[in-house]
């Protein structure tokens, strides 16, 4: 399944970035790369199931490429395939709930947690790192998107 989006991996956990064209996916991916993430795919993401895992990879023609607005199309970046752990819908700041209800995003019959974030917020990369910490059990969330 091919979809419009970008994807990076932090500590092996894939973060799928979803937004309309020009919505900030590549920009947030670039900022996450600057904080240690690895590129999975930019602009188009190939989704597949591997056992019970929803996997993300780049289409062959786009592997290692990232569009940087104002600079151009970078080629030759290291890239990985990743098991998706989190989907992120990039929205305007006003559309980000303070304490969101749990939500999910589904592809190929497999659901993963969904966050809605302002991707242009300076805190967005750090918020995504902490979200992965919660999902991996390294931090606890008492209210909000993943609260039990």
Residues of the chain with pLDDT > 90: what percent?
A: 93
2-135, superfamily in CATH?
Answer: P-loop containing nucleotide triphosphate hydrolases (3.40.50.300)
Query: What is the pLDDT, as a whole number, of residue 137?
Result: 93
Query: What is the pLDDT, as a whole number, of residue 148?
Result: 61
What residues does each domain of the chain span?
2-135
Query: What are the tokens at 63?
Result: 């592997």
Query: What is the pLDDT, as a whole number, of residue 144?
Result: 87
Mean pLDDT for each consecutive 10-residue tract of the chain (148 residues)? 97 97 96 97 97 96 95 94 98 93 95 96 97 95 82
Query: What is the pLDDT, as a whole number, of residue 146?
Result: 86
Query: What are the tokens at 122?
Result: 């300076």
How far, in Å, CA of 122 to CA of 104, rounded?
A: 24
Q: Quick: pLDDT tens for 114-131.
A: 999 999 999 999 999 999
Query: What is the pLDDT, as a whole number, of residue 38?
Result: 98
Biggest distance spanned by C-alpha atoms of the chain = 43
Query: What are the tokens at 56?
Result: 């993300």
């Amino acid at each position: 399944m091919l979809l419009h989006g970008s994807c990076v991996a932090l500590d092996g956990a894939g973060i799928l970035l979803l937004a309309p064209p020009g919505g900030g996916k590549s920009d947030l991916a670039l900022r996450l790369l600057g904080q240690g993430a690895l590129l999975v795919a930019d602009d188009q993401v190939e989704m597949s199931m591997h056992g019970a895992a929803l996997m993300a990879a780049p289409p062959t023609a786009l592997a290692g490429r990232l569009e940087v607005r104002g600079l151009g199309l970078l080629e030759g970046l290291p890239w990985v395939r990743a098991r998706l752990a989190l989907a992120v819908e990039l929205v305007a700041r006003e559309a980000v709930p303070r304490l969101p209800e749990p939500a999910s995003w589904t592809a190929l019959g497999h659901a993963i947690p969904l966050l809605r974030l302002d991707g242009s917020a300076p805190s967005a990369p750090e918020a995504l790192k902490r979200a992965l910490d919660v999902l991996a059990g390294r931090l606890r969330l008492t209210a909000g998107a993943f609260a039990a």
